[in-house]
Amino acid sequence: MTRIIPRVAVTPPPICNSSTLRGELSDLVPQPLFNDTGRYLTEDELIRFAGEADALLVGRDRITDKVLSALPQLKIIAKYGVGLDNLDSQALQRHQVELGWTAGVNRRSVAELTLSLMLGLCHNAFQSGWALKQGQWVKEGGQLLQGKIVGIVGCGNIGKEVVRLLKPFECKVWIRDILSMSEFCKETGALERSFEEVLSGADIISLHVPLTAETRHMIHAATLQKMRQTAFLINTSRGDVVNQTALKEALVKETIAGAALDVFSQEPPEDMELLAHPRLMVTPHIGGNAIEAVEAMARAAFQHLKEFFSR
């Protein structure tokens, strides 16, 4: 780098807990400040932690007007991860704080987990495996993923990667996105469908949308009622895309066959009744956390800092 960066504060636990990544960042900037709490920080904690930082490298920590107002020295926020719903973009503009962010860095990691959830739900691997741990020998092998109608709601970097991974399974892939996917459909053989068509016709619905005012609780009681009783729902996007109360009711009433969640409205989730439901498979927001993805997202954030302070 061409000049010294006075102060860089780093919050994401995957970076702070990695000696390799800590070392790489320390080679780029002098004495970065690492968050050693093992978790993301609240607004007040973040303000105290960052102090007079010139740069913040954050993950899921909330960046609000309150935080930015309390950190007048701040020049850039480098984002670890691909979601931006925790950042107030208008506040960043008002406070003239630059955002360093790279889209799609963890797409393969999330897509592979999504595929594993599809396979696990179809083959009854989760429910039968849990039963076996309880001493129950239940030989119900489920069904093939091959040939199923898979609805991809949100076809950005991750959604596209899921479609590509599905190719060997000879599925019928239906895509719903706010943008035209005609060229991608020509490339992959997928078909564009309306949201209503995906809800009523797909055997598996996989959500890959950002969290916005339009997508918050886009899956609710009424949409779940429109799904096939034999269908599965998978959410590896953001927790609030699904109304979890409505999903729990749909699982209890067997409105749908099952679901898999990697993300939750509250993390860690506290609804133990939902988590314990036998028709629900859960993972603790690990979709983008394959070690290769963690390192790629961290290095992308490091690069934004390097470029900004080398100007």
Annotated catalytic residue, options 108, 208, 238, 299: 238
Is 285 catalytic? The answer is yes
Annotated catalytic residue, options 176, 285, 299, 304: 285
Annotated catalytic residue, options 267, 270, 292, 307: 267
Is 7 catalytic? The answer is no
Distance between CA atoms of 278 and 284, rounded to whole angstroms?
A: 17
Distance between CA atoms of 277 and 257, rounded to whole angstroms?
A: 12
Find where tokens 């199923």 sit.
148
Is 123 catalytic? The answer is no
Q: Which two tokens stand for residue 31?
A: 């004495």
Burial 65-104 (b: 16+ CB within 10 A, else e): eebbebbeebbbbbbbbbbbebbbeebbeebebeebbbee
Find where tokens 């930082």 sit.
53
β-bridge partners, 173: 150
| Conformational region of residue 220, where left means phi above 0, alpha means psi within -120 to 50, and beta covers everything else | beta
Catalytic positions, written as ranges: 238, 267, 285
